[in-house]
Amino acid sequence: MVKQAVEVAENGKIRCDACPVMCYIADGRSGACDRYANQGGELIRVDPLTIIEGTVSAGGKVVPFLPDHPEDDWNGDLVQARRPFITAVGAGTTYPDYKPAPFIVSQKQNGVDMVTVVTEGIFSYCGAKVKIDTDRYLGPEAAPVRVDGEPVGHVMTAEYGSQMLSLGGVHHLTGGSKKEGRVTCDALLRLCNREAVEMTIDGGATVIVAAGKPPVINGAEEHRMRVGCGSATIGMFAKQWKELVDEVVVVDDHITGVLSEHQAGKLLHIPPTGIKIKGRRSTPGRYFQVADPGTGWGGTDIDDPLTILGDFDPKTAYPGLRMLMVSTTGEQSGYYILDENLRPVLQSDLPAAIRQSVEIIAENCEPALASVLFMGGAGGSLRAGVTTNPVRLTRSVKEALTHVSCGGAPAYVWPGGGITVMADVTEMPSNSFGYVPTPALVAPIEFTMRLSDYAALGGHMEAIVPIEQAVDLAERKIAPVVEGAWPTAEKNFKWGG
């Protein structure tokens, strides 16, 4: 429970200055954000300050790291990443932005004096990039994504076996109606705290997303990513199919593959079969636009794969020709034999060897998951809590003198101007995110650097406290969410100079 400075109002309430809303809070009550409360006339942070203590031993007990005691047995930890690390989760904010960050902590690492500056940033400019592992059609590119009927983002590009959404951003948070801003903020908060959010896409699907869990699309939970596009699937498994069938068609919304025409089939001396594919031929054995996007075979809108076939060429095809049609995940498959009229007839059972080849496709598919990456811009006001000259912090980050993390998780810093960060929420402690009803998200951010570099960029040297003092205040102590991924791991800290 970190105490904050407050103004005392005449009516006995205290005024919280942790965000622009400036709530008046009665004794025993919390503010609009539920993050700060009045306890006996003092403003406290409701959520506990969180510290990462390091590797958990086999017995489940946190093991302290004592770098100044070489007589301790070495446990094989090459990066010595078990020392405590103060996260910004539960630390508090710098609003109204001229104050030093709530915690500026000094610590020795490998004999070097280090400092970590932690603060909970109020991010009006923030959002989430969501990756949904599926071939199912979610909706047209750039289509609005809605929660409770309000637009909160849009569909982005389709990537390899995944669909992408861009959610939030300042235009949805502050540029629309009050309800749009409130709904957007609430959706972002739940997503970043790994809770499930149901979204609808204009002209597309209903999707339920929770970070680190399988997506649910139109009520059906996804299980697999595709092994590759139809062409790639042909290339990967052509050798296995050569002796089993005469033709293979891998149905895919993007690139449908045909074994006999594909270069892999040519090199394996698989003869032509006279097959005709309805679609736009790209290169031999690779077809675009065989069907419209959908939730059927290979991300198309078809339930019967024969609809993408034309008539077989009687000059080449022959009765008894064996054909496998399969989707890119192996979830759909059919074995066909051409009859006397050169029409494919579905067989009731897959031969064991062919079934095994389909199972290998499925085995090579990774589990379908939804990934949520928080994205925010660390602006001038947040940087002022780190240094009296904010642009120097930006330059220090760009020069790799300062390591940026979010709740202890490594943050990717985008190139170009400013400090635009992106972090995987599953690598952060649970409930790392809060909100203020401006509306904006409150997210943890930490800056770790050499003490000498901190002084050079105009840091608040008078506010530095030793790590031991901060550890005493921490009420929540956890192990790293992802082993070796937190900032004091040497392999993740980029030394400058």
pLDDT, residue 67, reads: 37
394-408 burial: b if 16+ Cβ within 10 Å, else e: bebbeeebbbbbbbb
User: Look-up: residue for tokens 């760009």?
Assistant: 398
A 10 A CB-CB count for 170 gives 16
Q: Which alpha helices (DSSP H) does 20-176 contain, by range? A: 170-174
pLDDT, residue 126, reads: 96
CA–CA separation, 406 and 444 (whole Å): 5
pLDDT, residue 380, reads: 66
A 10 A CB-CB count for 102 gives 24
Q: Are 333 and 362 in contact (CB under 8 A)?
A: no
Q: Are 347 and 324 in contact (CB under 8 A)?
A: no
Provide the 3-class DSSP secondary structure of residue 416: coil
- In the chain, the N- to C-terminal Cα span, in Å, equals 38
- Please state, in angstroms and as integers, the Cα–Cα distance from residue 416 to each residue in 57, 88, 397, 443, following that order: 41, 25, 11, 22
- The DSSP output letter for 346 is E
pLDDT tens string, the chain, 497 residues long: the values are 555 555 555 567 888 877 778 888 888 888 888 778 888 888 777 777 788 876 433 333 333 333 344 444 444 333 334 568 888 888 888 777 778 888 899 988 878 889 999 988 899 899 999 999 998 899 999 999 999 999 999 999 988 889 999 999 999 999 999 999 999 999 999 999 999 999 999 999 999 999 999 999 999 999 999 999 999 999 999 999 999 999 999 999 999 999 999 999 999 999 999 999 999 999 999 999 999 998 899 999 999 999 999 999 999 999 999 999 999 999 999 999 999 999 999 999 899 999 999 999 999 999 999 999 999 998 767 898 999 999 999 999 999 999 999 999 999 999 999 999 999 999 999 999 999 988 999 999 999 999 999 999 999 999 999 988 888 877 777 777 665 554 545 444 444 33
Provide the 3-class DSSP secondary structure of residue 189: helix
Q: In which element (H, E) is residue 429 found?
A: none
Q: In sequence order, which residues have a C-beta less than 8 Å from that of residue 402 and are 6 or more positions away?
A: 393, 396, 447, 448, 449, 453
Q: Are 43 and 6 in contact (CB under 8 A)?
A: yes
CA–CA separation, 364 and 165 (whole Å): 25
Q: Count CA within 13 A, CB hemisphere, residue 286.
A: 12
CA–CA separation, 93 and 104 (whole Å): 13
pLDDT, residue 228, reads: 93
CA–CA separation, 341 and 336 (whole Å): 13
CA–CA separation, 238 and 241 (whole Å): 5
CA–CA separation, 207 and 222 (whole Å): 11
Backbone angles phi, psi at 380, to 5 degrees: -60, -40
CA–CA separation, 72 and 105 (whole Å): 25
